[in-house]
């Protein structure tokens, strides 16, 4: 059991490009051998593989910066029967599969919460089948902590805004199957036999007694408490980003080969050996600086040459000075004469000349860009003024006939009302006489009506009197006949 724990404690030292030196006798020697078991008990590997083949699953993984080095391996996991089932023969070693790339190292440490203090080591790896996700190998202090972590986080959502859940599996063992990289990174330094790896952030020794250790996907190790304060998704040491960048294509022909990006506006176009859209962009906009995406070199279309002084080394990815031999025209085949013969004064003057050259070049380019954009702005203003004038003329030409017809109609109505008013003002006496005549005629009509009513009432009275007189002889005759 002591041998097993001591072999597991060397997990942080198996990275060939750790931030500090590692012991020669560490697990670095084991992962270069194909199918060498690094995690887990080697004595249990054959037994678990033969007895539980149907209950396990394997995943191929890799880690490291592909441009510098890459470590490949296989991890053997227990199959998940049910969320609450704990497999028999498990170890305090678990794997979290399918973590989204947008979750940084700090985000995952916060997601683990209080379990972080029980974690001895975490290692970030990428799965071959998942391009936009990564996996995490975690080793706990004891089996009880690993079981609680599994029961608490397995099937739990990473956050309330996403549907993706945390998939936790108990890990049987991890085997490293291959390594690719430069010889410089593959061989440890002889002076590193007595040195211990340290955290690049706090410069303290990477010891489990001081807290958990997290190894990034580029094989750099940190304390979990230190990396949790790093909110960026890149590595604090080499700036390697776990999120794979989107594949760039030409904005015009959509090709992905021989691409150049304009350093002024960000336009991406293909080179002159394809369709030449980057050159066309320079001719149209006069943006003369363009960066080749493959080699990271800057080309000046106006000067027809490269203008960069720094290039990225293909060996370790660092920026180094790109120098040219001063005696190339004299047949010198190497640049050793520059380093050996140049004096400090000449070097200072050369640096000052380069700085002045860049300053003048930058000032000239900025002035050209200013004039170019001012010309574009003036053209836009002129075009806008011309279109506005044409629109106003068009609207006016359509409105004038309607306004003229309406004006004529209003003029006729005004003339009629003016004539009527004038007639009313000139003949007030005539209208007064007419009003008096109308009043007198109305009075006469009322008087005739009253006289006629009075005459009809008199005639009615006479008629009633005659009727009463006619009734009296008839009544006398009837009374006489009865007697």
- Give residue-wise pLDDT tens across range 140-184: 888 898 888 888 888 888 888 878 888 888 888 888 888 876 544
Confidence (pLDDT) at 244: 59
Confidence (pLDDT) at 209: 67
Confidence (pLDDT) at 378: 93
Q: How many domains does the chain have?
A: 2
Round to whole Å and give the CA distance between 270 and 260. Answer: 6
Confidence (pLDDT) at 385: 93
Per the domain annotation, does 393 fall within a domain?
no
Please choose, from the candidates 88, 276, 327, 11, the residue with its C-alpha nearest in 3D space to the C-alpha of residue 290. 276
Average pLDDT over the chain, rounded to an integer: 75
Q: Is the same domain home to 52 and 198?
A: yes
If you average pLDDT over residues 36-63, what whole number do you get?
55
Q: Report yes or no: 215 and 15 within 8 Å, Cβ to Cβ.
A: yes
What's 139's DSSP letter?
Answer: E
Per the domain annotation, does 237 fall within a domain?
no
What's 132's DSSP letter?
Answer: S
Q: Is the same domain home to 63 and 183?
A: yes
Q: Is the same domain home to 15 and 118?
A: yes
Confidence (pLDDT) at 339: 44
In this predicted structure, the answer to whether residue 78 has a pLDDT above a threshold of 50 is yes
Q: Is the same domain home to 90 and 192?
A: yes
In this predicted structure, the answer to whether residue 227 has a pLDDT above a threshold of 90 is no
Confidence (pLDDT) at 118: 85
pLDDT band of 469, cuts 50, 70, 90? confident
Per the domain annotation, does 208 fall within a domain?
yes
In this predicted structure, the answer to whether residue 92 has a pLDDT above a threshold of 80 is yes
| Lowest mean pLDDT, pick from 49-63, 286-300, 374-388 | 49-63
Per the domain annotation, does 253 fall within a domain?
no
Per the domain annotation, does 463 fall within a domain?
no
Per the domain annotation, does 251 fall within a domain?
no
Cβ contacts of residue 154 below 8 Å, gap of 6+?
80, 83, 166, 167, 168
If you average pLDDT over residues 8-35, what whole number do you get?
35
Q: Tell me the pTM.
A: 0.45
pLDDT band of 109, cuts 50, 70, 90? confident
More confident residue, 62 or 39: 62
If you average pLDDT over residues 334-341, what whole number do you get?
43
The proportion of the chain whose per-residue pLDDT surpasses 70, expressed as a percent, equals 74
What's 189's DSSP letter?
Answer: P
If you average pLDDT over residues 188-213, what whole number do you get?
66
Q: Is the same domain home to 55 and 150?
A: yes
| Cα first-last separation, the chain | 166
Per the domain annotation, does 391 fall within a domain?
no
Q: Is the same domain home to 186 and 302?
A: no
If you average pLDDT over residues 82-91, what whole number do you get?
76
Confidence (pLDDT) at 294: 77
Q: Is the same domain home to 28 and 124?
A: yes
Last residue of a domain, one of 345, 372, 399: 345
Per the domain annotation, does 48 fall within a domain?
yes
User: In DSSP terms, which residues pair with 441 in a beta bridge?
Assistant: none
Round to whole Å and give the CA distance between 332 and 146. Answer: 65
Per-residue model confidence as pLDDT tens digits over 270-327: 998 888 999 999 988 888 888 888 777 888 888 888 876 555 454 545 545 544 444 4
Cβ contacts of residue 323 below 8 Å, gap of 6+?
335, 338
pLDDT band of 133, cuts 50, 70, 90? confident
If you average pLDDT over residues 443-454, what whole number do you get?
91
- How big is the CA angle at 120 (ends 105 and 79), to the nearest 5 degrees? 80
Q: Is the same domain home to 176 and 91?
A: yes
Per-residue model confidence as pLDDT tens digits over 45-55: 444 444 444 57
pLDDT band of 368, cuts 50, 70, 90? confident
Confidence (pLDDT) at 408: 92
Round to whole Å and give the CA distance between 71 and 436. Answer: 125
Last residue of a domain, one of 345, 377, 393: 345
In this predicted structure, the answer to whether residue 482 has a pLDDT above a threshold of 70 is yes
| CATH code at position 133 | 3.30.70.330
In this predicted structure, the answer to whether residue 341 has a pLDDT above a threshold of 70 is no
Confidence (pLDDT) at 41: 42
Confidence (pLDDT) at 13: 39
| Lowest mean pLDDT, pick from 19-33, 162-176, 387-401, 467-481 | 19-33
Confidence (pLDDT) at 329: 41
| CATH code at position 268 | 3.30.40
pLDDT band of 82, cuts 50, 70, 90? low
Q: Is the same domain home to 104 and 12?
A: yes
In order, the DSSP letters of 199-239 are -TTT--B--GGG--EEE-TTS-EEEHHHHTT--SSB-TTT-
Using a 10 angstrom Cβ sphere, with 0-12 exposed, 13-18 middle and 19 or more buried, the burial of residue 150 is buried
Q: Is the same domain home to 187 and 61?
A: yes
Q: Is the same domain home to 154 and 32?
A: yes
Give residue 220's domain range.
2-227
Q: Is the same domain home to 57 and 204?
A: yes
Last residue of a domain, one of 204, 227, 250: 227
If you average pLDDT over residues 255-260, what whole number do you get?
88
Round to whole Å and give the CA distance between 61 and 59. Answer: 6
- How big is the CA angle at 47 (ends 44 and 50), to the nearest 5 degrees? 145
Confidence (pLDDT) at 379: 92
Of the ranges 28-32, 311-315, 434-438, the best mean pLDDT one: 434-438
């Amino acid at each position: 059991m002591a041998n097993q724990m001591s072999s597991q404690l060397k997990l942080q030292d198996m990275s060939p490009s750790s931030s500090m030196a590692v012991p020669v006798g560490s697990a670095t020697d084991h992962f270069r051998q194909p199918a060498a078991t690094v995690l887990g008990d080697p004595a249990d590997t054959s037994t678990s593989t033969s007895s539980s083949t149907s209950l396990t699953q394997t995943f191929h993984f890799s880690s490291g910066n592909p441009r510098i080095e890459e470590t490949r391996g296989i991890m053997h996991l227990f199959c998940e029967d049910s969320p609450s089932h704990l497999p028999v023969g498990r170890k305090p070693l678990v794997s979290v599969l399918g973590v989204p790339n947008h979750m940084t190292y700090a985000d995952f440490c916060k997601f683990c919460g209080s379990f972080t203090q029980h974690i001895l080591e975490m290692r970030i790896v990428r799965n071959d089948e998942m391009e936009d996700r990564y996996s995490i190998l975690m080793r706990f202090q004891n089996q009880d902590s690993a079981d609680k972590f599994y029961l608490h986080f397995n099937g739990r959502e990473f956050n309330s805004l996403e549907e993706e859940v945390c998939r936790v599996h108990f890990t049987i063992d991890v085997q490293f199957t291959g390594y690719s990289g430069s010889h410089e990174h593959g061989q440890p330094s002889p002076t590193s036999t007595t040195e211990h790896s340290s955290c690049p952030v706090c410069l303290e020794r990477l010891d489990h007694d001081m807290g958990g250790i997290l190894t990034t996907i580029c094989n750099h190790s940190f304390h979990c408490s230190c990396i949790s304060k790093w909110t960026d998704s890149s590595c604090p040491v080499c700036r390697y980003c776990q999120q794979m960048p989107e594949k760039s294509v030409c904005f015009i022909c959509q090709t992905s080969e021989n691409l150049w990006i304009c350093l002024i506006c960000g336009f991406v176009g293909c080179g002159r050996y394809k369709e030449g859209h980057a050159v066309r962009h320079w001719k149209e906009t006069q943006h003369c600086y363009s960066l080749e995406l493959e080699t990271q070199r800057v080309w000046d279309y106006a000067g027809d040459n490269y203008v960069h002084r720094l290039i990225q080394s293909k060996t370790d990815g660092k920026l180094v000075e790109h120098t040219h031999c001063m005696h190339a025209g004299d047949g010198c085949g190497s640049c050793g004469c520059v380093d050996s013969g140049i004096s400090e004064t000449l070097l200072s003057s050369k640096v000052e000349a380069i700085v002045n050259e860049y300053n003048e070049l930058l000032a000239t380019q900025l002035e050209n860009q200013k004039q170019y954009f001012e010309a574009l702005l003036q053209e836009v203003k002129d075009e806008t003024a011309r279109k506005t004038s044409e629109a106003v003329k068009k609207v006016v030409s359509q409105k004038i006939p309607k306004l003229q017809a309406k004006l004529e109609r209003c003029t006729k109505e005004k003339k009629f009302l003016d004539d009527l008013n004038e007639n009313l003002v000139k003949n007030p006496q005539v209208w007064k006489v007419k009003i008096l005549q109308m009043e007198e005629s109305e009075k006469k009509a009322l008087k005739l009506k009253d006289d006629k009513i009075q005459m009809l009432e008199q005639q009615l009275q006479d008629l009633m009197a005659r009727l009463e007189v006619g009734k009296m002889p008839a009544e006398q005759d009837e009374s006489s006949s009865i007697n």
